[in-house]
């Protein structure tokens, strides 16, 4: 298995532009998580999907952020419009729903820089 795959690895964009981050979870994992990592706040859970359904999006900072999971093998996190304070590393992680206590498998993250 190739693990959790995120793209792009790096993204540099100008303030006000739309940004879309992509994630392919591990096949068979039915729980998917988007995290944001910054120096100031550490790792923050943005949104959690179970069986493609958003269960908890209370961590999504603003309406500018949206996430979708149209099928079991793909999820996107969109920021529109982007702002410099959105600069961070965004991680996607997946787990088997009944085994969340086994630990997540993380992707390699997308480093987003908004200038």
**Binder of another protein out of 14, 55, 80, 96 (CB under 8 A):** 55
Closest approach of another protein to the CB of residue 106, in Å: 4
45 part of the interface to another protein, by CB under 8 A: yes
Contact 94, 48 (CB under 8 A): no
56 part of the interface to another protein, by CB under 8 A: yes
**Binder of another protein out of 31, 75, 82, 94 (CB under 8 A):** 31
Contact 75, 25 (CB under 8 A): yes
12 part of the interface to another protein, by CB under 8 A: no
109 part of the interface to another protein, by CB under 8 A: yes
**Strand stretches in the chain, DSSP E:** 5-7, 10-13, 19-24, 31-38, 42-50, 53-56, 65-71, 74-79, 88-95, 105-106, 110-114
Closest approach of another protein to the CB of residue 16, in Å: 26
């Amino acid at each position: 298995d190739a693990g959790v795959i995120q793209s792009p690895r790096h993204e540099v964009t100008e303030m006000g532009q739309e940004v879309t981050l992509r994630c392919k979870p591990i096949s068979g994992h039915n729980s998917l998580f988007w995290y944001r990592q910054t120096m100031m706040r550490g790792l923050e859970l943005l949104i959690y999907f179970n069986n493609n359904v958003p269960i908890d999006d209370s961590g999504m900072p603003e309406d500018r952020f949206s996430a979708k999971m149209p099928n079991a093998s793909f999820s996107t996190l969109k920021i529109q419009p982007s702002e410099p304070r959105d600069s961070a590393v965004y991680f996607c992680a997946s787990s088997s729903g009944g085994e969340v206590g086994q630990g997540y498998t993380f992707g390699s993250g997308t480093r987003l820089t908004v200038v």
